[in-house]
A and B are shown apart, each in its own frame.
Chain A
Amino acid sequence: MISDYVEPFITYGFLANQRFEWSDLAGVAVGVRSDYSSAFGSGATAQTFPRGDAFLNISRFKFWENSKISNVISDFKIRAAYGEAGIQPGAFQRFPVLGASNLGSNSVFRFPTTSPNPNLAVELSKETEFGFDLGFNLLKGDWLKNANFSFTYWKRNTDNAIYRVDAAPSTGVGSILNNAFGLGSNGIQASLNLNVLSKKDFSWDFTTNFSKQTSEITSVTGADVVVLSAAGSTGLTLKPGLKIGQIFGFLVLRSVDQVDPNTGQPFIAKANQGNYEVASNGWVVNKTTKQPISSPGQYSFGDPNPKFNMSFINNFNYKGFLSLSMQWDWVNGSHLYNQTKEWMYRDGIHSDYSVPLTIDGVSQAYTAFYRGIYQVGQNNGTKDYFYEDASFARLRNLSVGIDFSKLLKIKTFQRLQLVLSGRNLVTFTKYTGMDPEVSSGASNSSFDRGVDHNTLPNTKAYTIGLNVGF
């Protein structure tokens, strides 16, 4: 079967950028670009995107260089930038078309399930950032000679993000491409680099990086956008004011008089509360059936994204031939929905089934409880029992290198270095799944994260390498 697909795309415009610098004291750049595109349809106006950045190297001013501060803080530079960018609709997202299907040996017209939108506008992003870099001269002597510190704060807004939104079924259309929502995000990044020790034979450098970011839906056109994670049955909702990637599901009750946040009434009617108790594992169970109970409605579990990420990198070098490098990564406050565990509960193959719990004084590994967790609310539904803390600290990289040409003073080789390294060697985490660093959702999605569904974990890797230089 031969097919032929043609996607014409015509774009033109102009780009102008001008930079001004005064020695290395200060600099300013401004620029603009303006684009026409066939994806906008004919008769559309051009999209114009300005940008600019500036820096000021305070430490190069005479007053700084002449003062005592320059002995301690050798470099101090502040910088800022602003830019706008756009993502245009796909080549044909504005053009109404008919679909075609085979019925028997004939090809017939039909209506497509997703309707294009002739009024689709360009997705616009605006980003601002500012920051500073500092260089320190610390102690005289071998320890803590100098340090560099840099810090950046950034803020970005995206408006008119293009997404498929549901249409009412009575329109005969499944979904319409629309400028569905706006996103806002901001964050900080900081890094500190220290010469901890620099002797003639031995040096030790230490670097640490810190980053923190948060993203939120700022606006939604029309009704809230309901999406399913690409990782199976977990439900996400894009609602204004919510952090991105929030997972919605049933709340499995943890206290017998737990109150419904929407109505203020207890989930379990007062008359029935005597039939329930909190089992030894912290979940409310029915004393007779041993099954747990959940809220009838679905609620947000909170923000699955991490509170912050840090890395710690240490580099050691002895007499130029022996080098050791070690990197630890720390992700704090992230959460994962352990869908893999939920499917294993369905099939009764998870080791939790043999963990006993005490209900009404009797301690047993109640299958009815674990099976009930799978069933409660909805078979295979999203529920907070499986929403776990996935914070972790991981030895990302440990590598040792020995340069034999320097060690044994071999003349023919400039470098003969044997490198042994290991990745992901040690992980500390409370997450019960295989790897707290997986995401089974749509790749590169800004909001489809936080679900672990049968994704292969990252692996420990050991490598041995030889670098040869002549």
Chain B
Amino acid sequence: MKNNKILVGILGVALSMTACKKDLDISNTNQPTPESAQNEAGVISLAQGSIYRNGFYDLKYSDGVYGRFWAGATGFQEMMGDIIGAEAANAFMNQIGCPNKVTLDNGTVVLNPSAINTQYALLRNINNNQQQGSNATYYEWAYMYNMITAANSILKIAESTTFTGAGAATKKATVQAWAYWWKGYAYARIGSIYYAGLIQNAGTTDASTNGNYVTKEAIITESNANFDKCAAALAAATSATDYSAVLAQLLPSFVQKGKGGVLTTAMWQRNINTMKARNILVNTPKSAMTATQWQSILTLVNNGITATDYIFTGRTDPNGDFLGTTIADKIQSQGNATNTYKLSERWVQEFRAGDKRKDNNVRTLPNVGIFNTDRGNAFNTRFSLTNGGSGLPGVIVYANLVAGANEISLCGTYEENELMKAEALIQTNQIDLGVKSIDNVRAYQGAGLAALPAGMTQAAAYEELRSERRIALAFKGLSFYDARRWEIIAPDKSRTGCNVISAAGVLNTNATIVYGFLDYWDVPDNELAYNPPAAGSAAVKNPKQ
């Protein structure tokens, strides 16, 4: 009897278990799944969120001291371009932009005070997986590959999504153009700072990669190829109303003012041309530029961004944005205080007398800013930026803490296009035409400077261009490219006639700075540790020692 009861009991339990097994199939109802993106509204939402947030904001490492892509990763480049300096040591940022040697007016030599006292040695030392988020060279790589894999996912999802209405083909083409544009942008940034890169065609959800590293030149070629695919997709977006409707949903609503409106396909095509011109210019030393290259640049910029075109912009927003903060906002300060980023004397010295952009933005500190001598030798400064500007009408404002008040450019701008035009004209001996473009940029930013005269020499005209590029394109993450192609960063080169405040607070106006900055960064070890180079890969380390 007892045995029967036991048997029945065991059978009953076994039966009930098979019935329950399908109850185990739960799902996470708290968060959207990849299936949620598999429709028109979903893929557009993912296209906006993944590009702006994964590409510029959300990363496994972050530090509020330097911020996300548009304050941190681009900030590191601005430090190397001697637009800003830093005293804090987070991610070694005080050392990334610390020159090897500063020679003061009286001949005193001030060396880099750090324990590892050259930037070459520092970058090799910190480019180590154990440094995790303290490896400053990790950030731009990680952000841009986030963007590339996100764009790949968007392309894959758009391929299998059904778009509605008569303009379905245009809607799909617009989403594709969006993905190709950002891939082109991301590859451009990677190929312009890293010695080698990866061509990545997998999406984020594949969580896979390849170990076939290619040269930076191949990465720039890939960037241009994606820009071309973007142009082709735009050409296929024939229905203007559907295109505008989709683009208005792809761009976050809070950037759709100022220069950030809904671009027409023609405007976007011009944006592509400006970026392709940048790809040529920033990766070739000025002394190595050929007439053919200048001509290519001219062809592109003559069809580049105009003064009335919309561009891709970013703003802060109280409900959530993709900037966090900006470089200029990390410089501005009040009273005697300075902020995390210190405004470089070598930047302020570029302003010509009477430039309203300086009057509107640069303020003199009540007491000269002198920072720890054991953390840097060139970052003392008399200047900071004014939050919100000084109110001069029609003059550009750099820093503004009011949410949404200030607009930063993410990709190309009219000023950049015009200055590339000026440079190409000057370098191909059409100097008078070239300086007119410099005047255009100054007028556009409200500088209030007199027009440059006709008949300038090439050298004099180029000097105007050089200082104008440093001012007009400041805080955008472009100034290191210029310093590199003007060949002043190598350990055997220098910049003379610099303004430097010594540790004693004395202004030197004829100091010489030997920067000693590496021109292209080794591939970050955070990548190499988990994805070693496969056989036949290009070199992943810059041979310069």
Contacts and interface: CB of A to CB of B under 8 A. Distances in A.
A168 B24 contact: no
Interface stretch (A93-101, A277-285, A388-396): A93-101
Contacts of A8: 26, 29
Contact of A95 (B13, B27, B92, B132): B27
Nearest to A42: B25
Contacts of A371: 374
Contact of B20 (A7, A12, A175): A12
Contacts of A315: none
B75 interface: no
Listed residue (A37, A101, A166) with the most chain B CB atoms within 10 angstroms of its CB: A101
B393 to A, nearest CB: 28
A46 to B, nearest CB: 8
Contacts of B94: 379
A109 B58 contact: no
Interface in A3-24: 5-10, 12-14
Given A104-B319, A108-B45, A375-B115, A170 B60 contact: no
A172 B150 contact: yes
A170 B145 contact: yes
A467 interface: no
Please classify how large the interface on chain B is, using the bins under 10, 10 to 19, 20 to 34, 35 or more. 35 or more
B322 interface: yes
A37 B20 CA distance: 11
B130 interface: yes
A7 B50 CA distance: 26
A104 B23 contact: no
A221 to B, nearest CB: 12
A168 B530 contact: yes
A170 B89 contact: no
Interface string B244-262: 0000000011100000000
A111 interface: yes
Interface string A370-402: 011001111110000000000000000000000
Contact of A100 (B49, B205, B254, B529): B49
A42 B25 CA distance: 5
Interface string B132-145: 10100010011001
Given A42-B22, A111-B54, A98 B129 contact: no
Interface string A88-120: 000110011111111111101111011100000
B8 interface: no
A6 B145 CA distance: 33
Contact of B531 (A97, A110, A168): A168
Interface in B142-188: 142, 145-146, 148-150, 153
Given A10-B24, A169-B145, A169-B524, A36 B317 contact: no
Nearest to B317: A104
Contacts of B134: 378
- Interface residue SS majority, chain B: helix
B205 A223 contact: no
A457 interface: no
Contact of A42 (B21, B115, B321): B21
A234 B153 CA distance: 37
Interface string B114-126: 1110000000011
Nearest to A108: B49
Given A103-B53, A171-B207, A371-B374, A228 B132 contact: yes
Contacts of A376: 115
B17 interface: yes
Interface string A157-176: 00000000011111111111
Contact of A170 (B32, B58, B209): B209
A322 B396 CA distance: 85
Contact of A102 (B203, B209, B320): B320
Interface in A118-151: none
Nearest to B190: A170
B252 to A, nearest CB: 4
Given A92-B28, A103-B317, A111 B205 contact: yes
Interface string B37-62: 10000100110111011100111100
A103 B49 contact: yes
A298 interface: yes
A379 B89 contact: yes
A325 interface: no
Nearest to B13: A14
B33 interface: yes
B237 interface: no
B204 interface: yes
Contacts of A92: 28, 30-31
B253 A106 contact: yes
Given A96-B33, A96-B205, A170 B200 contact: yes
B336 to A, nearest CB: 20
Contacts of B33: 95-98
B36 interface: yes
A4 to B, nearest CB: 8
Contact of B31 (A100, A175, A237): A100
A241 B321 CA distance: 45
A38 interface: yes
Given A5-B30, A173-B204, A109 B46 contact: yes
Nearest to A164: B60
B198 A95 contact: no
A12 B130 contact: no
Contact of B48 (A42, A108, A294): A108
B34 interface: yes
Contact of A97 (B32, B52, B116, B141): B32
B28 A172 contact: no
B405 to A, nearest CB: 14
Contacts of B252: 103-104, 106, 108
Nearest to B57: A101
B45 A38 contact: no
Contact of B30 (A7, A235, A248, A291): A7
B209 A97 contact: no
Interface in A319-356: none
B23 A10 contact: yes
B26 A38 contact: yes
A222 interface: yes
Contacts of A110: 46, 49-50, 53-54, 58, 150
A38 B320 contact: no
Interface string A36-49: 11101110100000
A117 to B, nearest CB: 9
B202 interface: yes
B52 to A, nearest CB: 6
Given A111-B150, A113-B59, A223-B530, A170 B48 contact: no
A10 B149 contact: no
A322 to B, nearest CB: 59
Contacts of B524: 169
A95 B528 CA distance: 28
B217 interface: no
A125 B449 CA distance: 75
A293 B117 CA distance: 13
Contacts of B149: 170-173
Interface in B3-23: 13, 17, 20-23
A98 B60 contact: no
Closest 6 CB pairs of A and B: A172-B149, A174-B60, A102-B320, A108-B49, A42-B25, A110-B49
Interface of A: 5-10, 12-14, 36-38, 40-42, 44, 91-92, 95-106, 108-111, 113-115, 166-176, 222-223, 226, 228, 235, 237, 248, 291, 293-294, 296, 298, 371-372, 375-380
Given A111-B146, A375-B114, 13 more contacts: A44-B24, A99-B31, A100-B49, A103-B320, A113-B59, A113-B60, A169-B527, A170-B531, A171-B145, A172-B204, A172-B207, A228-B132, A378-B89
13 contacts: A10-B24, A14-B17, A103-B49, A104-B321, A108-B48, A111-B146, A167-B207, A169-B527, A170-B200, A170-B209, A170-B531, A173-B204, A223-B530
